[in-house]
Structure 1
Amino acid sequence: MTDIRKATGDCVVFDLDGTLVDTSADLLAAANACFSAMGQGSPLTSADSLTAFHGGRAMLRLGFSRIGELVDEPGIDRWYPELLRHYREAIAVHSRPYPGTVEAISALHDLGYITTVCTNKPAALAEALLRELGIRDLFAALVGADTLPTRKPDVAPYRLAVESAGGRMARSVLIGDTETDLLTGRAAGVPVALVTFGPEGEGIARLQPEALLARYEDLPDLATRLLARS
């Protein structure tokens, strides 16, 4: 089966933040570092993890609203590089792969699957995070938000992530945690499994993906079932 899967290009594509790794605490810390530099303390808390996974600008908008300041988008853009600097300097203080991630991906490799990453995190930060966590070698390729002129849910980054890894679009499945991932899968015409341990929890079921993933232990069987429909 291993040789057959490699020959057919069976590929599992992963989102990063909220899917492979819980990065919310380090993201929120980077945003709070910006507000601390303004003398505004730390307006964001662990309860804001869902906002963290919507990106740096979303965290800045929320933080400014918390401190009662109206800041336009150019103002947000001015602070965004500072947030990225803070994040880059402490990218894996609290971030950890979700339980069972490494074991599940190793099991996929044993079955002959190719694994790759397609994320809306800037590519250099995604590379740095995976290397800091010691798991970059688990993935044959990585496509980030700035690898191409477009990002998810556009299909181009997904296609590049699959093809750069040696996979085939028609024999791929996407594992993610947000509506953006679902829309990416729809654009690519591939099945999508959304994790229920990510920022939205079991509420993600409202999107009605092809499958839900409650624990990484179930991923090898789930991927096999989804690709059997292809």
Structure 2
Amino acid sequence: MKIHYLSENNSVLNHFLAQIRNTSVQNDSMRFRRNIERIGEVMAYEISKKLQYKSVQIQTPLGIKETTEIANKLVLCSILRAGLPLHTGFLNYFDSAENSFVSASRHHPNGDAEFEILVEYQALNALTDKTLLLVDPMLATGHSLVAVFNKLMQNANPTEIHIAVVIAAPEGIAYLQEQLPDNCQLWVGALDSHLNEKKYIVPGLGDAGDLAYGTKL
């Protein structure tokens, strides 16, 4: 699996990453959502450099212009609910993409730190011969993302697979490298230090879904 670490080079991406982590800024849920959306726009632009393009002729008011357009048939899939602002950012740039949604959540059957991943609601597009863009803000253990990926791959054969996460832990990246095929490309906004005893990313930013939409039960 090829991995792209986007924050290694200074850009406006790092400015947005700083704001979503900052406790004095992230308390504004509207601003938090917008910053995640803007991060999605930056990541979409970076991924666009790896897509295929076709030559086209465009009629302008004054003549014909030879240029290029994206040739890939894109399917954008986010993991509910935290993935929605990131999904919007990608969709702002890939506005002709089809859109899929899957819910995945941690379930603690014994009330302790141990959990299993529940994949429930699904609204999916066909993926065969298309390019999958799978987006989720936080890559902690990687189990949610792998569970959703396996669900998407049932009877599907996409031509390209790009996975985009805003903040990742080394443990999650290692798990994806073990579980996902080599033809996946992983795009990471920022790589953090480690997971704590509750499997949250440190220093991270907290719970992205709660910051965007309010504390869940």
Query: Which category of TM-score, normalised to the shorter sequence, fits these structures?
Result: 0.3 to 0.5
* TM-score, normalised by the number of residues in structure 1: 0.39
TM-score (norm 2): 0.40
Higher helix share: 1
Q: Higher strand proportion, which one?
A: 2
